[in-house]
Every structure is written in C-alpha cells, then in structure tokens.
Structure 1
C-alpha cells in the first residue's frame, strides 16, 4: 500500500470515528434512562465490528511504516474511547436481554 493510500485511509477512518463517537453520544442520551432498543443494539454491534476492523488496519505493517507515532497514538486513543462507549451501551443491552430471559 502506498503512503498516499495509507494517509487517505487514516483520514477516512478518523472521520468515521468522529461520526461513530457522535452517534454513540446521541444514543447514550436516548438510552440514559433505560436499555437500548433492539435496533440500537444491532447498530452498536455493527460499530463494534467496524471499530475492530479499524484497529486491525491501524496495526498493519504499512500503516506503522508510514504513519508518524503521534498520529498513530491519537488514532489508538480515539479507537479506545469509542470502544469504551460501545462496551457500556452493549452491557446495557445485555442486561435487557437477561431481564427478558428471566421474565420468560
């Protein structure tokens, strides 16, 4: 992968992380009082999958060779923040599923 492609991909993933972070913030506001709906939970799981792909792409040899340490650190920090939000919202969804199973 060329340096130009790596830089372009890093910029695109940064924009995607910002969009995810904003969406998770809005979702957290809606979920604050209860658990996420099934559609929100499905969206959280899709985000978890895409953020894992971002982490894999960030750890490739090409990316490590072309991206400065500071940019890589900031990207990893952003990914970790999004992962924490996803885990919190997913845990609320799992709690809902457990309550539903107990009542059935």
Structure 2
C-alpha cells in the first residue's frame, strides 16, 4: 500500500479515455484502520505487540520517505496503552528490539 500513489487513480481505456477515477484513503488512515483493533485487544500480549511492530518495520523497508512519519506515529500508537512497566523484563527487551527496528527503517 505504501507504493500506491497518493493522488487519485484514473483508469483509462485503450484510447486514453477515462473509465474510472477513485481516491485511496491516506496512508495514515490505512495504518490506523489496520492496527487500531489489534492494538486495543493485544495491548497486554507481547506476541501481538511485537508482531505489529515487526509489520510496521517491514512496511518501512519499502516505504517512500513521505510515509515514514506515519509509520513512526503508528509504532508509537501501538505501544501507547501497553503497560510496559508491568511486563517482565524479557518482554520489555523484546518490544524495545522491535521498536529499534522501526526506528532504524524510519530514520528515528
């Protein structure tokens, strides 16, 4: 999805005539709709949290510069309500490794 154009898409016929035009949601909206329920129901599950962070880091590897801020914002959103201080040290360490991977691909 990061590779899709941010402008309206026009599908044309063989002669160049416009057949269909449609707008995609913003990349930020796509990320939000992808992660908001996962975040809500997985905020206490280290495997869900780290899987979301891994997905965000993976998306960042191929994303154009214009989407990196949305990915960083989404990673912060994913862990915002997680009670990290209540988790065992190894879980916190694992989550921090995944956050560092996001920071690496998004340029912090």
Q: TM-score, normalised by structure 1?
A: 0.41
Q: Whose radius of gyration is greater, 1 or 2?
A: 2
The structure, 1 or 2, with the larger RCO (C-alpha pairs under 8 Å, 6+ apart) is 1
Larger helix proportion of the pair: 1
Q: Which has the higher strand share?
A: 2
Alignment TM-score, normalising by the size of structure 2: 0.40
